[in-house]
Amino acid sequence: MFTPKLTEPVLTKRIPTYPFGDEADRRIVSYDDYVKTGGYGALRAALAMPPEDVVNAVKESGLRGRGGAGFPTGLKWTFLPKADDPDEPGVRYLAVNADESEPGTFKDRLLLDYDPHLMLEGIAIACYACRLSVAYVYIRGEYHHQARVVENAIKEAYEHGVFGAKGLLDGADTATGKPWAVECHLHRGAGAYICGEETALLESIEGKRGWPRNKPPFPAIEGLFGKPTIINNVETLAHVPSIVEHGADWFKTMGCESSLGGPPSYGSKLMGVSGHVNRPGVYECDLGIPLRVLVEDHSKGMRNGKKFKSAIVGGASTGVIGPDDFDAPMDFDIGRRCNVLGLGTACPTIFDEDTDMVAVARNLARFYKHESCGQCTPCREGSGWMLQLLERIEAGDGRTKDLDLTLEIATSMGAMPGTTICGLADGNNWAVRTILNKFRGEFEARVKPTYVPVTVAVGAAANG
Amino acid sequence: MPTITINGVACEFTPGQTVLQVATANGIDIPHYCYHEGLSIVASCRICLAEVWAPNPRNDNALEPIPKLLPTCQIQAQDGQHVYTDSPRATANQKAVMEYLLVNHPLDCPVCDQAGECKLQDYSYEHGRGVSRFEETKVKQPKKDVGPNVLLYSDRCIMCTRCVRFTREVTGTNELIVQGRGNKEQIDLFPGKALDNPLASNVIDLCPVGALLDKDFLFKKRVWDLTSSPSVDGITSSGDNLWIDHADGRVYRVRPRTNLEVNLWWITDEVRYGWKHVHSEDRLATPKRRQHGARVETEWPRAIAEAVRGVRRAVDEGRRLAVLLSPMLTSEEAFLLAETARAFDPDAILGLGPVPTVGEDRAFPPSRDGEPVHQSPRSPSPGQPPRPFIMRAEKCPNARGVRRVIEGIGATPLDVVGFVTAIKDHGVGAVILTGNYPSAWSTPDLRGALAREGLFVVLADTLDSPLVELTDVVLPAATWVEKAGTFENAEGRLQSFEAAIRPVAGARAEGQIALDLHAELEQERAKADGAGGSPAGVTPKPARLYDAAATRRRMAEASDALRVFITHTHQPPAQHLRQTDMPVVEV
Ligand SMILES: Cc1cc2nc3c(=O)[nH]c(=O)nc-3n(C[C@H](O)[C@H](O)[C@H](O)COP(=O)(O)O)c2cc1C
Ligand code: SF4
Ligand code: SF4
Ligand code: FES
């Protein structure tokens, strides 16, 4: 039996969400509302601490990136080059990843929709701690409404002296003895998934084509406009104020330890459930909550009383789990435990027993083929080839050798084997590979000469 | 020196070099498409990947494998590393990339100009899998006319982006872009622009496949039928190093020959297409002489004899000989002509032909405030020379060399204006003119001066022009690709070259003409001297054959100032003199 340790909402403190509040009460949190409920107190507390202490607090909390890779945030912050003079480190940037384009992922959106100041406070603290002077919020092109909300929040923050040339909080004195000034800009994407990849995001802000860069050099050394740059997800930054306010130990009371002897998964996490459930939505939960609880409690169970068959774990790129893994805890160990790429964004898409997994594979392959930036040969050509193979298999024109070829193509491409520059190819690889491996029977049936096609519309095909 | 082991071969390197550069320097071939020495590194084609084992300092420097394959074009060599591009994983990747690249390739080698010098063909042969498992539909892409000299066959493109980076990083003109995404992506023109800049056609050589092709060369010749001869720019003062590709005595195209001290990897389009006059309809092919006021064709011996007679007569009358030495001549030829002139008339007037200039020197990438304007601040190739490529305003190859020769033999060259003034003087009785410009070059002033009654005019030139009508003897001369010699470029660099093709029918190098005139003169003099004694006993002495290397040795003997032609002349590197013809395999 799973007992939640999260007794009070953290990220959703001002956004009523099940089980802590009623969605009907949600409204945009203005600057005044935010401050009235204790907002920007964490920033004030942070400014009273030496910047290194803030970094250390985040490091000790064990906070891991919420953008997909789960990289320890505090550690990332220490990768910045040491400035000779901490007060004059030169221009260094923070890029906030609000591109949220991973299929099935819509958790940052909740914060952007209702509580943008939480992210802005996180930005201000991160900039103070890491000695960054300019922040760019790179927001997904399709987030028109959210862009307006954030734009307005940034304006409010400037008006109230949070940002601006005078220094954070109207030039408030800091533990270093000098105010620290931060400029914050909103940059809107143009609708390319690849611009969520951190280095493509930097290229895009620079006004170039969103083509991921080779690493090294890592952005912390040579990032935006060639300057040291930290890239963090919206939700990651939104966690920072409460860590500063309540301390690392408080943060560790939520979430879970690793059962596989790996690094722990502390803290709460926004989980966006979609697919064949009764109440899709974003819920704040402990890391480590079993998927079954998320589906049966938070999401009010499977739609039409159907049986659970499979789920994309956390955004299409992570791949799928089979029916046996319904009880899998949603923590950063899920990759190793359930043979998927990782926890990803922790936004599962649930499939019921009627789902045609061949169509799912084809639909995801179509997405990656469409979104491949086209730089690396294996991703550019492999994604197109794989889609055509899957389309043929789905139509009943495939042969068994096509399954092996699809697997071979999928397995050979990705940044992890090193054959591509960025992780988009890994996403494509894991999505197709896990479906094909875990539901091979369905594919085998399709390529048998006796197969009679039955149409089940999924994804784009469903829309015509 | 630090050492890296590539495919089992220990190679020393200088820190900062990439693994691919170290391999190339040590004669190890690693396949590569997107990497080019002269451009930034993008590491996107992924064919150069290698398996790397590196010493781990935390484990007593034991060699440990790095789990990922790494791009050798991008990673810098580290001491003690072991790199394998021939391991099973690395070769599996090469096979996979080759298969991917051919997925949407039309495989139309039989009608593709690039066939024979195509990296897709070469690497398919060396690293490919022989068969394709692709049974689906290919993406079809259009042919595009992208500029005055260049065609783009998008369907053959492998998206290495060399061409795009070239227009960004070298010319700074940004005409080419990548359009679209995924496998629909293609190279395209920036809206409203055409690939039209002074260096545009370099993208043809840069393109590793048959996607960017030369309109001028299109369907003219299969490349395996061409012979490549190293040469030097004979059109401008840049001294760009060239390959002259020719077959059956015809030039088909000109390409840059890499020389990091001169032209880097590039040439301007004016040099690339500047050989057209070699096979022009207007080439002078047959010697002519004046007969009753009209020019009639004649044979070489008669033309030479008549030229010598005319000049001698003028000199014997106590009038001067004036010789105009064109800056299109090689230094050796200028020397031989000057020597011949002095044999006729020890006080001969020597002039330097017109030195055409157009605009000003232009640097690529263009600089702003002394800093080159690059579009790519990141990852320039390590060892990329900081020098820019210069397009020269001076449109002749050897003004400096000819002047150096004239001054070296103790004379002062007159410029064209001085020369014209000099020949207007009735003290001048004979003129020898050399031209060899790619287009008409004489001025009305010069023509006016030549029209003077009683002036004997010999013209050695390549193209028919109004000058011909003013001369007594016309001697068809040879362009630089048809002869050997040395040019001194704008930076004072002496570079020698050999003939690529034989002189087109009937023409002779000006160096040969000088020797012929000289021999004829000596023979005439011998005849005159011997006239009293043994009237029958004169055997004609044949002219020597023009030999540039031998002439340089004679120049060094003749004057200390000309010793530089022995000590400082750059020759094409030995490996460039070897022919790289495709071996014919008997089946
Ligand atoms: C193809 C691709 C797309 C990505 N898209 C997003 C995205 O939309 N939002 C995001 O936060 N991270 C995205 N990421 C992850 C980022 O590259 C990066 O890891 C993350 O922004 C780092 O922030 P964090 O450490 O705070 O998680 C993407 C990665 C890849 C490879
Ligand atoms: S892996 Fe795909 S998306 Fe990523 S850089 Fe390469 S081609 Fe672009
Ligand atoms: S046209 Fe040629 S040079 Fe340009 S990207 Fe394509 S293959 Fe490379
Ligand atoms: S040559 Fe190294 S990736 Fe293209």
Architecture (CATH level 2) of domain B288-358+394-574? 3-Layer(aba) Sandwich (3.40)
Query: Are A263 and A240 in a shared domain?
Result: no
Instruction: Mutate one of B183, B190, B375, B378 to test the A interface: name it (highest A CB count within 10 A).
Output: B183
Which residue is closest to B44 within chain A, CA to CA? A376
- Looking at all shown ligands, the one closest to residue B162's CA atom is 3
| pLDDT of the residue at B370 | 55
Band (A371; pLDDT cuts 50, 70, 90): very high
Instruction: Mutate one of A377, A397, A405, A426 to test the B interface: name it (highest B CB count within 10 A).
Output: A377
- DSSP class of residue B544 equals P
Q: Give the mean model confidence (pLDDT) for residues A4-14.
A: 94
How high is the ipTM of this complex? 0.92
Query: Are A249 and A261 in a shared domain?
Result: no
Query: Are A379 and A273 in a shared domain?
Result: no
Residue A328 carries which side chain, given as an amino acid letter?
A
Of A293, A328, A352, which closes a domain? A352
Give residue B163 CA to ligand 3 midpoint distance, Å.
6
Task: Print burial letters for B235-259: b (CB count within 10 Å at least 16), e (below 16).
Answer: bbbbbbbbbbbbbeeebbbbbbbeb
Q: Does B133 touch chain A (CB under 8 A)?
A: yes
Q: B377 pLDDT exceeds 60? A: no
Contact A370 B182 (CB under 8 A): yes
What residues does B11 pair with on adjacent strands? B4
Residue B122 carries which side chain, given as an amino acid letter?
D
Which of the four CATH numbers 3.40.640.10, 3.40.50.12280, 3.10.20.740, 3.40.50.2300 does domain B3-99 have? 3.10.20.740
Top mutation candidate among B161, B183, B201 for ligand 3, by most atoms within 8 Å of CB: B161
Residue A112 falls within a domain, yes or no? yes
Q: Which of residues 337-396 of B touch A (CB under 8 A)?
A: 377-379
Domain of A227: which CATH number?
A: 3.40.50.11540
Q: Does B19 touch chain A (CB under 8 A)?
A: no
Q: How many domains does chain A have?
A: 3
Q: B283 pLDDT exceeds 70? A: yes
The structure tokens listed for B467 are 């000058």
Residue A12 falls within a domain, yes or no? no
Range of the domain at A179: 23-253
- Please give the full DSSP string across B323-346, using - where no structure is assigned: EEE-TTS-HHHHHHHHHHHHHH-T
Residue A370 falls within a domain, yes or no? yes
For tokens 């960025």, what's the residue? A422
Q: Between helices B399-408 and B331-344, what is the axis angle to 10°?
A: 40
Q: Give the mean model confidence (pLDDT) for residues B198-212.
A: 97
Query: Are A327 and A428 in a shared domain?
Result: no
| pLDDT of the residue at B574 | 81
Query: Are A328 and A381 in a shared domain?
Result: no
Of A212, A231, A253, which closes a domain? A253
Q: Which of A77, A39, A55 is nearest to A162 (CA)?
A: A39
pLDDT, averaged across chain A: 94
Contact B183 A381 (CB under 8 A): yes
Contact A377 B377 (CB under 8 A): no
Residue A415 falls within a domain, yes or no? yes
Query: Are A221 and A262 in a shared domain?
Result: no
What residues does A430 pair with on adjacent strands? none
pLDDT, averaged across chain B: 92
Query: Are A245 and A108 in a shared domain?
Result: yes
Q: Which of B410, B392, B396 is nearest to B346 (CA)?
A: B410
Residues with CB under 6 A from ligand 1: A 65-69, 71, 73, 97, 99-102, 194, 196-198, 231-233, 236, 422-424, 427
- Residue A296, Cβ neighbours under 10 Å: how many? 16
Query: Are A142 and A246 in a shared domain?
Result: yes
| pLDDT of the residue at B529 | 81
State the number of CA atoms in the 13 A half-sphere of B17 facing the CB. Answer: 18
Band (A459; pLDDT cuts 50, 70, 90): low
Band (A83; pLDDT cuts 50, 70, 90): confident
Query: Are A198 and A52 in a shared domain?
Result: yes
Which residue is closest to B378 within chain A, CA to CA? A226
Domain ranges of chain B: 3-99, 288-358+394-574
Query: Are A96 and A189 in a shared domain?
Result: yes
Which sign does the torsion angle of CA B185, B186, B190, B191 carry?
A: negative
| pLDDT of the residue at B380 | 43
CB B312 within 8 A of CB B375: no
Which residue is closest to A402 within chain B, CA to CA? B133
Band (B378; pLDDT cuts 50, 70, 90): very low
- Looking at all shown ligands, the one closest to residue B34's CA atom is 4
Band (A464; pLDDT cuts 50, 70, 90): very low
C-alpha span between A114 and A425 (Å, rounded): 33
Residue A4 falls within a domain, yes or no? no
| Cβ neighbours of residue A348 closer than 8 Å, sequence gap 6 or more | A104, A271, A273, A274, A275, A291, A294, A295, A311, A312, A313, A314, A330
pLDDT digits (tens, 9 = 90+) for A391-412: 999 999 999 999 999 999 999 9
Residue A9 falls within a domain, yes or no? no
For residue A158, give Cα distances in angstroms to A131, A183, B192: 19, 9, 41
Output the pTM of the full model. 0.93
Of the partner residues A382, A389, A415, the one whose CB lies closest to the CB of residue B100: A382
Residue A145 falls within a domain, yes or no? yes
Query: Are A341 and A386 in a shared domain?
Result: no
Burial of B43 (C-beta count, 10 Å sphere; 0-12/13-18/19+): buried
CB B469 within 8 A of CB B451: no
Q: Give the mean model confidence (pLDDT) for residues A430-457.
A: 84
Of A305, A322, A352, which closes a domain? A352
| pLDDT of the residue at B576 | 78
Residue A18 falls within a domain, yes or no? no
Contact A374 B159 (CB under 8 A): yes
Query: Are A331 and A391 in a shared domain?
Result: no
Q: Give the mean model confidence (pLDDT) for residues A162-187.
A: 94
CB B583 within 8 A of CB B429: no
Q: Give the mean model confidence (pLDDT) for residues B249-256.
A: 97
